[in-house]
A and B are shown apart, each in its own frame.
Chain A
Amino acid sequence: MALDEIKIGGLGASRRRVEDNRFIRGKGNYVDDIVLPGMLHMELLRSPLAHARIKSIDVSKAYEIPGVRLVLTGEMMAARNLAWMPTLSYDTQAVLATDKVRFQGQEVAAVIADDPYIAKDACQAIVVEYEQLPAIVNPFQAMESDSVVIRDDKENQPGNKIFDWEIGDKAATDKAFAEADVVSKMELHYPRSHPSPMETCGSIADFNRATGKLTVYMTSQAPHIVRAAVAMVAELPEHMIRIVSPDLGGGFGNKVPIYPGYVVAILASILTEVPVKWIEDKTGNLISTGFGRDVYLQGEMALRKDGKMLGMRMKTISDHGAFYADAQPSKFKIGLMHSAFAAYDLPAAHLESVGYYTNKAPGGVAYRCSFRVTEAMFFQERMVHAAANDLGMDQAEFRRMNLVKDDMFPYRTAFGFLTDSGQYGKCLDIGMKAIGYDTYKAEQAEARSRGKLLGIGISTMTEPLGAGNSREYDILGIKMFDSAELRVHMTGKAILRTGAMNQGQGHQTTWAQIVAHELGIPADDVTVEEGDTDTAPFGMGTYASRSTPVAGAAVAMVARKIRAKARKIAAHLLEVSEEDIEWELGRFYVRSNKERGVTIQDCALAAYSNMPDGMEPGLENNAYYDPPNLTWPFAAYFVKVEVDAETGVWDVLKVVAVDDCGVRINPMIVEAQIMGGLTEAYAMASMQYQTYDDQGNMIGANYMDYLLPTAWETPGFELHEVVTPCPHHPIGAKGVGECATVAGPAAFVNAVVDALGHLGVRNIDMPMMPNRVYEALTTGKDISGMPPVMMGD
């Protein structure tokens, strides 16, 4: 008898997260929980200035403090050729500053001491003499011809421009505009935000002089990439480097890059020959590590008067900070910005992108959708909202007319992506019904007559999740496939390792469910391990919603290899030929006699005790999976708000989210991912941003200024699902971890703009703080750019 798949924790089971048992008991093992004998502690001294020449650094007072073992400066790093390191975008980044500091919070020196208190005291005792230079805090300043050159360390870098890139069909787009009845425009800024995981970055570097081996415990989302990079930067042989990522307290893209602190800690351990722990503080994390967004987007849409989209011109101006440290595939300078409008039947499009250096923290990798898809989709849905209004069309009907229809797949987008599946219209219908769209217009008019401002915002999108394929997607040239290795023990229990790296997604839980689905081994019988480069197979790590599409597929594929071998063993045990064997969940049986069968556990035992002649013993294998395409989940989000006309405060009345991410492995985990993403969307729409004053001082350097919503503000979410399986994924799953963060913000902004639509307001840039909404509703004008930072009267 086949097993009940839900009972064994297979596909579709809302199995409780295995990880939670240790997390809620306080028994997680984070990097700061690890204590090694003789370990020293490191603290970084950071620059208080955004742009300044370093005239001198005097560390003598720091050495006077008892317990200080070593003080490292840029000069000492340079002597070992470690003052600069490569970024994930073929640029360089200072490890410890030598010539200049280029952003507030940049790493200037490091103290290694007996405890972190002493290290912090000693940092305060280091005297650095700076000669202040003008700070450039946005790309518009950076592009001015007389602007100071930030990267004067680089040859062939005359100004502050990093890249100039274009994609799409310019001629076809020009033609579309020539034929257009209506041209609608949109211009906005997606503010800088920070992923701010609960756990900051940190590491323990442990260099063992006797064995020559370097072990680094660190909070990395991509440990194998780190190993490769350390091998290149530190010039250590790769087999003598072991990177171990223990439990991660969140990542959201923040923990993909390699940060200066890691490199300094490694050198410190090599020099002191004892382990060196570096745990970043919260402010250090907020001011120096990978931020998200900070892109100015402009565009115009060519439309026929009946509402058909004809063409789209887009331009992006991005602010990368002092070092170009994005992590997008090398052929796409601004990531997958050109995934914009992928859900729409748009005949022609052209995108032009320019990136600049500024005196701000480097990054752009994060958050919760790197590759710039978040900015693309936000712009898309704000543009669509404006276009519908300019045409005098209903928001939902305009989308319905232009969304790709079910029978058009596979669909080649104007920018060249191939979308393969979806039921966009169905998702739209479910969302409209749930939010009460048919009575909304009357409700809004009635509310306005009472002085109340109601608004509904819609956001619909498909996004590319799950890089690769390896033809187009790489990091530093390393192709973006992923891997899984499965060992079935003789009693039928198993251990699975993948090249992905869990940071809250529940891999331990869901990977075991895929094994259960493929082999009928109960999920509880499968141990899942990730993060140790000495044991895990090579993989590109977890970000960009790629784990289920790529590593998850590898799990299914390795399980199928195991099943293929088990089938041979079953034939041997049942004394029939392999062709006469059938499979049902957990069991092989003889086709002619279903009662005669053996379980997968029987086969496992036989693999070690009774294998057929000539068969290699054991039951283990690995699989490297190179996906044929990205996966294309669809999201339709609806937000209803009421705006207080006297204060500009807006309250969320209802949020409806319809997600189609294909087959759901663990529906409970998927729902939690969507709710987390919607919370982040609400956060960015309402309060969460980082900005800089004209001196380059960061506003948002601590959690009093950088606001994360609490349970008190966060609205409730009503979730709905549609399932269109991914046609190329072994179990039909698509990425989902980032959908809500990506599609959510535009739904909130569209709702508030809709509430103010009758006043002539077209755009309010995020964050839509009450004062900005109030200004828009009292003046009827658009509110653009970052909130002003004026500390004087």
Chain B
Amino acid sequence: MYPSRFGYEAPKTIDEAIAILDKYAGEAKVLSGGQSLIPVIKLRFAAPEMLVDINGIPGLDYNRVDPDGSIHIGALCRHEDLENNELMEKHAPTIAAAAPLVSDPIVRTRGTFVGSVCHADPQGDWAATMTAMGGHIVAQGPNGTREIAMNDFVIGPFQNTLAYNEIAIEAVIPAPKGVRVGSYLKLERRVGDFATASVAVSLEMNGETVIGAGIALASVGGRTIDATAAAQSLVGNKITPELIAEVAAAVAATAEPRTDHRGSSDYKRQIVKTFVTRILTGLATTSQKAA
């Protein structure tokens, strides 16, 4: 790896990190897991003047569920921490389902959940998951913290709305109204490949009745696609095969895939439809059993 020359700082507190970012006025980059940033630097697609390594800042590697039912994931929580994680399986099944599908095991030991959301790759698993679950990012800057909803956070390919002197310190998913169920499916040609299509579904249930529905798509558009509007016909109803077919078609229609060497746009829509159908059919069966 022969990147362009860059500086390196490893601050011990968030305030120090913010001060460095502030000083470099847009020419510094935060390094957390580095699983996207390092390859980009290696290929010389990016040449930041300064890397601000936040791995030495204590207290950011948590994932927890608060008494109010909200889920909090710290900036240094690795993908791997969310795999085989009982809290996630119970409170955030979409995250539990997506965690083992994020890239490959080597990347998962190092890459971070929050870093992946910030990277805003249209193929990113966590941005889609956060969108489906209605989450938000907590950003800290020189003037304190602010909350940014997912739809306001990721605004385009590799574009988020953090200011140059802000750090995303936490991802938050609010407490569900009922019981949260969900899943995640992704088609990739090989582990670690950019996906052909990915679908995140998160529902809130009261018995067999859907009381809240979120669906988001990755890899089938220039940014993460929020298909939640297309899922709203589920709300107030039991999940029936007819409803599944209707929602699957509506969700597939929100996809904006491009034809490329991973498949035609029609094929990618077909995959979205199939995955929505498979996830909802699975959730219908589980909710029937539970009820």
Contacts and interface: CB of A to CB of B under 8 A. Distances in A.
A595 interface: no
A775 interface: yes
B289 interface: no
A23 B290 CA distance: 54
A789 B260 CA distance: 6
Interface stretch (B66-74, B75-83, B261-269): B261-269
Interface string B183-219: 0000101111110100000000000000000000000
Given A770-B263, A789-B261, A687 B274 contact: no
A39 interface: no
B15 interface: no
A116 B42 CA distance: 13
B264 A709 contact: no
A304 B260 CA distance: 44
B85 interface: no
Nearest to A646: B274
Nearest to A688: B190
A581 B210 CA distance: 93
B259 A647 contact: no
Interface in B25-82: 43-44
A649 interface: yes
A121 interface: yes
A713 interface: yes
Contact of B261 (A649, A699, A793): A699
A707 B189 contact: yes
B2 A712 contact: no
A121 B4 contact: yes
A699 B260 CA distance: 11
A707 B193 contact: yes
B152 interface: no
Nearest to A787: B261
Interface string B242-265: 000000000000000011111111
A286 to B, nearest CB: 13
Interface in A754-793: 769-771, 774-775, 787-793
Contacts of B265: 793
A120 interface: yes
A707 B267 contact: no
B86 interface: no
Nearest to A772: B263
Contacts of B262: 769, 771
A691 interface: yes
B279 interface: no
Contacts of A592: none
Contacts of B104: 710, 712
A788 B267 contact: no
A117 interface: yes
Contacts of A775: 264, 267
Contacts of B263: 769-771, 774
Contacts of B259: 788, 790, 792-793
B270 interface: yes
A442 interface: no
A476 B43 CA distance: 38
A24 interface: no
Nearest to B1: A281
B261 A713 contact: no
Contacts of A79: none
A691 B260 CA distance: 12
B190 A774 contact: no
B4 to A, nearest CB: 7
Contact of A713 (B191, B194, B196, B264): B191
Contacts, number: 74
Given A121-B4, A647-B274, A704 B194 contact: yes
Interface string B235-247: 0000000000000
B21 interface: no
Contacts of B264: 771, 775
Interface string A629-642: 00000000000000
Contacts of A281: 2
A6 B259 CA distance: 58
A160 to B, nearest CB: 26
Contacts of B192: 710
A713 B194 CA distance: 15
A791 B261 CA distance: 8
B190 A691 contact: no
A116 B3 CA distance: 10
Given A707-B190, A710-B190, A117 B274 contact: no
A649 B262 CA distance: 12
Given A707-B189, A710-B104, A117 B5 contact: yes
B171 interface: no
A269 B187 CA distance: 50
Contacts of B234: none
B277 to A, nearest CB: 8
Interface in A694-713: 699, 702, 704, 707-710, 712-713
A515 B22 CA distance: 70
B193 A691 contact: no
A691 B258 contact: no
A687 B194 CA distance: 13
A463 to B, nearest CB: 28
B189 A791 contact: no
A686 to B, nearest CB: 8
B271 interface: yes
Interface in B1-28: 2-5
B189 A687 contact: yes
B190 A771 contact: no
A771 B267 contact: yes
A710 B267 CA distance: 25
Contacts of A771: 196, 262-264, 267
B187 A712 contact: no
Given A710-B104, A788-B259, A790-B260, A120 B2 contact: yes
A705 to B, nearest CB: 8
Contacts of A710: 104, 190-192
Contacts of A770: 187, 189, 196, 263
Contacts of A686: 189
Give the most central of B190, B270, B274: most A CB within 10 Å: B190
A788 B264 CA distance: 9
Contacts of B267: 648, 771, 774-775
A713 B187 CA distance: 13
B191 A712 contact: yes
A262 B134 CA distance: 57
Nearest to B265: A793
Interface string A696-734: 000100101001111011000000000000000000000
B237 to A, nearest CB: 24
Contact of A769 (B2, B3, B43, B189): B189
Contact of A704 (B193, B261, B270): B193
A111 B267 CA distance: 46
B196 to A, nearest CB: 7
Interface string A334-366: 000000000000000000000000000000000
Nearest to B106: A710
A221 B191 CA distance: 31
B214 to A, nearest CB: 23
A120 B4 CA distance: 8
A407 B39 CA distance: 59
Given A771-B263, A789-B261, A649 B187 contact: yes
17 contacts: A121-B5, A124-B44, A646-B274, A647-B274, A687-B189, A687-B190, A691-B261, A709-B190, A710-B190, A769-B262, A771-B262, A771-B264, A790-B258, A791-B258, A792-B258, A792-B259, A793-B258
Interface of B: 2-5, 43-44, 104, 187, 189-194, 196, 258-265, 267, 270-271, 274
Given A117-B2, A712-B190, A770-B263, 6 more contacts: A121-B5, A283-B43, A647-B274, A687-B190, A710-B104, A774-B263
7 smallest beta-carbon distances between A and B, as pairs: A771-B263, A712-B191, A771-B267, A787-B261, A120-B2, A646-B274, A707-B190
